[in-house]
Amino acid sequence: MNDGATVSRFLPDEDATLQLGASWAKSLTAPLVVYLQGDLGAGKTTFTRGLLRGLRHSGAVKSPTYAIVESYPLADFTLHHFDLYRFASPEEWEDAGLDDLFADNCVCLIEWPQQGGGFTPAADITVSLNHSEHGRNATVSAHTTRGRQNLEAWLN
C-alpha cells in the first residue's frame, strides 16, 4: 500500500536533517513504531535529535549505540530511541526485555531494526536516509493506516 504513502526530500546539510526531524514534532502521535534506515553516518541519530528538540527536549541526545535504548519522557508520550547496531544476535532483544517499551503511550524509533530479526515489532513508518554526492536523500514511507495518517499530517 504505497500509493501516496511515500515522500522524499533532499537534505543539503545537517541543519536540514535536524529540521526535518523537528518538523514532525507538531503532528507525531503515539503509539508509533518508526524504523530509521541508512548506513553509518547517514543521519539517523541527527534526525532523532532534531525531532526531540522539536518536542521541547532540552537535554542531550546521545546515540544509543552502547546503551541500546535511550528513553525520553515528554509531555504527550515517551519516546524510546533504539540502536541495535551492536546486537550479536536477535536474541539480545529478549535478553534486554525491549518488548515492554512498546506501549500505547510510546513512540519508538529504531536504528538498525533488522539486527533484532523477528523480535523487532513491525514498523508503521520507515525513514530512510541515504548519502548523496552533496548531503542526504530522505525517503519516508508508511506501512500501516496509523503510519499513513502520521505521514500525511507531517509532510503533506
Q: Does 51 bind ligand ADP (CB under 6 A)?
A: no
SS (H, E, C) 88-131: CCCCHHHHCCHHHHCCCCEEEEEECHHHHHHHCCCCCEEEEEEE
Kindly state whether residue 14 participates in binding ligand ADP, applying the rule CB under 6 A.
yes
14 binds Mg ion (CB under 5 A): no
Amino acid letter, 14: E
Size of the site for ligand ADP (CB under 6 A): 17
Q: Please give the radius of gyration of the chain, using alpha carbons only, rounded to the nearest integer.
A: 14
- Give which of 48, 53, 43 is closest to 11, Cα–Cα: 43
Judged by CB under 6 A, the chain residues 73 through 112 that form the site for ligand ADP are 111
The answer to whether residue 41 forms part of the interface with ligand ADP (CB under 6 A) is: yes
User: Residue 61 Cβ, how far from ligand ADP at the closest point, in Å?
Assistant: 10
Q: Residue 140 Cβ, how far from ligand ADP at the closest point, in Å?
A: 14
Nearest to 47 by CA among 17, 68, 73: 17
User: Which residues contribute to the site for ligand ADP (CB under 6 A)?
Assistant: 11, 13-14, 16-17, 38, 40-46, 63, 111, 135-136
